[in-house]
Amino acid sequence: MQLFYLVLFLKVYSSFAAAESPSVIIVGAGAAGIAAATTLLENSITNVTVLEAKNRIGGRIHSVDFCGGVVEVGAQYCHGENGNLVYQLLEKLDVLESSNLSKLAFAKLYTSNGHVVATDLAEDLVNTIFSYDEYLNASSGVSLQQAFLEVYNSGVLKKYSHDEQKQKIVKDALKFVKDAILIYEGAFSLEKVASRNHFVGSDGDQNLVFKNQGYRILLDVLMKSYPNPNDKLPIDDKILLNKTVTKITWNKSKVVVETSDNVSLIADHVIFTPSIGVLKEQMDSLFDPHLPKQKKEALDALGFDGVMKIILHFPTKWWKDDDYAISFLWSKEDLLNSTNEFPDGPSKDGISWLANIPSLVQIRPNYNVLIAWYVGDLIPEIEKLPDDILLRGCNYLFKKFLGKDYNVTDADKVLKSQWCTDPHVRGTYSFEKVGYSKDNVSHNAKLAEPLVNEEGRSVLLFAGEATNPIHYSTVHGAVESGKREAERIIELLK
C-alpha cells in the first residue's frame, strides 16, 4: 500500500512540476523545430509543445519511398564536412556517402542538336559556374547577374573569341550557366541576388548523400531514436500535427498561440521556425502586435524563391553508372523553335518551359531514377502541371539531346516537388537580395533577434535556415538555428 501511495505521489508531483515549469511552444517541426525541441528536452525543459501545420515532421526534409528506393523531394545533400553540424552528428553512423557529384561531373554537356561539347570547353563553362570567389570581388550593390557576366565575358568568352564555332557555343551556353547557378542560389533570377554575401561554406565534400534511409534519418538522430531506439527522447506526444498557427499574441506576460481549429495555447516563450516564405506572406495577420520595423526590413532584404525537382523513374536504365550528371545546352535557334516542337505546357517569351532544365542528376547506381533540376519563375506553374505533360516533356527533351549517344527509354513514373505552391512553405531556401547587402550588417542575424514583451523579456524567438547569418539555405544552418534558440531559452531560465 505504501508503494502505491508513493507511485501516486510521484505521478501527481511530476504532473505538477511539468505544469509549473516554463512552457515553450515551437511553431514548425522541420529541422530547426526538431533541433530546438530536442535541445530543450535534453536540458530538462519538458513543458514543450511543437505545432506542425503538415501531417508529418521534417519540413523541407522530405524523404519519400519511390519505385523501390528513397528519394529526396526536399533537401538533397549534406554540404561539406568541417564546420557542418549535420555532418558532425552523422559522421560516425555510416549513413552518408559521396554522390561523386564533383563540379566537373556537370561537364558532360550536350547541345540541343545532340552533340557532346568538347571536354576542354565544357570544363571551362562549368568552372565559370563555380567561380564564386571572383563574383565576390564585385562592388557592393552589384547583382550576381552583373558580376557573373563580367567574369563570363572577360573569361571563357574572351578565351574562345578566335574560334568562331566554339564562341557560338559559349554564347549559347550563357543560359545553361546562369540556370545552373540558380540551382545553388534558389532564386528565380540572378538579377535578384547580391553578388557579395555573408555565407560561409563548409570544407569537404559538398554533395554528400544519404544511404538507404534518406535525409529523414537526421530527424531520428536528433530525436535519439537512431541508432538506438531505446534512447529516444520523449518527444512524440509533444508534437501536434495538422495544427496551423493563425495568430501569435506576444506582447503580454504570456504568449498566446491560436490555431486554425480554434485551439488556444499559452506559453512563456515561442520559437517560430517556419520559412520566411510563410513569414513574408502572413506576417501582417499572424502577429499581434505587428512585427517591428527592423524585423520587416530584415525580411525585405532576404529573398525566397525556389528550385524544383522532377524525379523520374525509368523501367530500363539507359545511362552509364559514371553519368553522375548530364547537362543541357540549347542553341539560340532551337530555343526559339522549342514551343513549336513541344507546344504543351507553359512558355515564356516564346520559349518552352523545358528550356529551364539545366541538368539531369543520377541518384545512385542500380536505381533507375534520375532527377531533373528545374529553375526559373515558371516553377509555380510547373508544380501544377499534370504528370502526363511532365513525362512527355522530359521524354522529348532527353531524346532530343541524348538520343544520338544513348538508347533513351521513356520515363514511366514522375514525382515532383511543390515547395513554391505549398502554403506552408512558399519556396525552397533563402538568399541575400541585391541592394540591401552591407559588409557589416547581416539581415539574417537581424531576423534572428528575439522580440521582447512589455516586461522586457524575450518571448518570441526566431529560428530556421534564413535566421542563420553564415549558413542560411542549408539544413545544417537550420539545425544550428534551432539549437541556438533553445540554448537562448535555457540561458534565460538560469
DSSP letter string, 254-317:
SEEEEETTS-EEEESEEEE-S-HHHHHHHHHHHEESPPPHHHHHHHHTEEE---EEEEEE-SS-
Burial of 162 (0-12, 13-18, 19+ CB in 10 A): exposed
Integer Cα distance of 484 and 487 in angstroms: 5
Q: Which residue has the cell 541585391?
A: 434
End-to-end alpha carbon distance in the chain = 39
User: Which pLDDT value is given to residue 439?
Assistant: 64
User: Which pLDDT value is given to residue 7?
Assistant: 38
247: number of Cβ within 10 Å: 16
Q: Which residues of the chain have pLDDT under 70?
A: 1-20, 136-138, 439
User: Which pLDDT value is given to residue 130?
Assistant: 87
Count CA atoms within 13 Å of residue 172 on its CB side.
Answer: 24
| Residues carrying CATH 3.90.660, the chain | 98-202+307-416
Q: Determine the residue type at 142.
A: V
> Under CATH, to which class is 98-202+307-416 assigned?
alpha beta
Count CA atoms within 13 Å of residue 358 on its CB side.
Answer: 22
User: Which pLDDT value is given to residue 194?
Assistant: 93
User: Which pLDDT value is given to residue 494?
Assistant: 87
pLDDT digits (tens, 9 = 90+) for 309-320: 999 999 999 999
User: Which pLDDT value is given to residue 22?
Assistant: 84
- Which residues make Cβ contacts (< 8 Å) with residue 314, sequence separation at least 6? 368, 369, 370, 409, 410, 411, 412
In CATH, what number does 2-61+216-304+425-492 get? 3.50.50.60
Q: Determine the residue type at 328.
A: F
| Residues carrying CATH 3.50.50.60, the chain | 2-61+216-304+425-492
Contact indicator for 24, 49 with CB cutoff of 8 Å: yes
Integer Cα distance of 132 and 27 in angstroms: 35
User: Which pLDDT value is given to residue 8?
Assistant: 39
pLDDT digits (tens, 9 = 90+) for 393-444: 999 999 999 999 999 999 999 999 999 999 999 999 999 999 987 767 899 9
Integer Cα distance of 465 and 85 in angstroms: 13
3-state SS string over 199-267?
Answer: CCCCCCCCCEEECCCCCCHHHHHHCCCCCCHHHCCCCHHHEECCCCEEEEECCCCCEEEEECCCCEEEE
User: Which pLDDT value is given to residue 103?
Assistant: 81
Integer Cα distance of 171 and 173 in angstroms: 5
Burial of 73 (0-12, 13-18, 19+ CB in 10 A): buried
Integer Cα distance of 155 and 373 in angstroms: 26
Contacts by 45-49, CB closer than 8 A, 24 or more apart: 45/21, 45/486, 45/489, 45/490, 45/493, 46/18, 46/21, 46/234, 47/18, 47/19, 47/21, 47/22, 47/23, 48/23, 48/24, 48/238, 49/23, 49/24, 49/25, 49/238, 49/240, 49/265, 49/267
